Structure 1
Amino acid sequence: MGMSVTISAAGAQDAEQILKLQYLCYQSEAELYGDYSIEPLVQTLADLTEELGRGHALVARLGDEVVASVRGEADETGTVTIAHLIVHPRLRRHGLGGRLLDAIEAHFAGDPAPAAKRFQLRAGHRSEGNLRLYRKKGYAAVGTREVGPRLTLVTLEKAA
């Protein structure tokens, strides 16, 4: 490739590229669960732009192309919910997802208001690659919630 991937804060100007990447990345999840109506595949640009304004998002770029992204949002109790960790299919299994997860945690760990006490994320019960990454990064399952006949979400947490 010849270029290095850089990680930086995402802004509203990145919303369209993030949405397109999200749509591409969640195709495999939709296929895994036999459900193409999952939230990441039906989210609108307006909804994503509003979500980016509420929390903090990071993008990884290869040149000008957004090739990975993650979003996080802290609540008043100090729980940081991390969501939509996506990596372009051609760049998976090279550590980029782990780098983004570390970077979003570092952002919230250094953010004084409110102080991060725990990090929380969710993954589908069949999403073995995602679950393996989260366990490797110190997350442990704390609960499950059935959201449909084919999908159970696993909630994972770790202390900040």
Structure 2
Amino acid sequence: MGMSVTISAADERDAEQILKLQYLCFQSEAEMYGDYRIEPLVQTLDELRAELVEGCVLVARLGEEVVGSVRGKVDAEGTARIGRLCVHPRLQGHGLGGRLLAAVEARLASDFSAKRYHLVTGSRSEGNLRLYRRSGYAPVSTERDRQVTLVALQKEATEYAASA
């Protein structure tokens, strides 16, 4: 391609591209679980714009195109809830998801004083589970949401992440 992928904070101008990418990326999850009403597929542009204001949203860009995204928000107890990690299908399998995850962890620790990271994925989402385990996350609970069994994973923020 001749260009490298960069990761930076998202802003209002990225909202539509993020929403389109999210819709594309979460189709396979919806198909796997037989549920096309999962949150990433029904989120509105206004809801996403609110997340841009109140949390930490990062994008991966290839030139001007948004090819990856992740977001997080830290609660009063210092737990960073990370979600909606997605990478364009044509770029999956090249480490971009891991780069986005590490970048959002570092930003949440440095700018929002995160003490731990928490995320949720479907129990049959093996690629996601592998990525999260490689990144140091451990399962802490499961719950049922409609047809989907969700796995919650967590890890503590480290000094390295806080200084990255």
Q: Do residues 103 (structure 1) and 103 (structure 2) align?
A: yes
Partner SS state of residue 110, structure 1: helix
Partner of 1:67: 67
Letter of the structure 2 residue corresponding to residue 126 of structure 1: R
Partner of 2:162: none
Partner of 1:48: 48
Residues 67-89 of structure 1: per-residue CA shift (max 9 Å, x gap): 00000000110000000000000
Q: 1:117 Cα shift?
A: 1.1
Superposition map of 1:89-100 within 5 A: 89-100=89-100
Residues 89-135 of structure 1: per-residue CA shift (max 9 Å, x gap): 00000000000000001111112x5x211000000000000000000
Letter of the structure 2 residue corresponding to residue 110 of structure 1: S
Gaps of 5+ in 1: none
Letter of the structure 1 residue corresponding to residue 126 of structure 2: E
Superposition map of 1:1-150 within 5 A: 1-111=1-111, 113=112, 115-148=113-146, 150=147
Letter of the structure 1 residue corresponding to residue 142 of structure 2: T
Letter of the structure 2 residue corresponding to residue 66 of structure 1: V
TM-score scaled to structure 2, two decimals? 0.94
Distance (Å, rounded) in 2 between the aligned partners of 1:88 and 1:98: 13
Distance (Å, rounded) in 2 between the aligned partners of 1:37 and 1:142: 25
Distance (Å, rounded) in 1 between the aligned partners of 2:109 and 2:35: 35
**Which of 147, 156, 161 is matched with 1:159 structurally?**
156
Moved over 4 A (4+): none
Letter of the structure 2 residue corresponding to residue 117 of structure 1: K
Letter of the structure 2 residue corresponding to residue 47 of structure 1: E
Distance (Å, rounded) in 2 between the aligned partners of 1:105 and 1:57: 11
Q: 1:51 Cα shift?
A: 1.4
Decide which moves more: 96-105 or 46-55: 46-55
Distance (Å, rounded) in 1 between the aligned partners of 2:129 and 2:32: 14
The CA RMSD over aligned residues, in Å, is 0.7
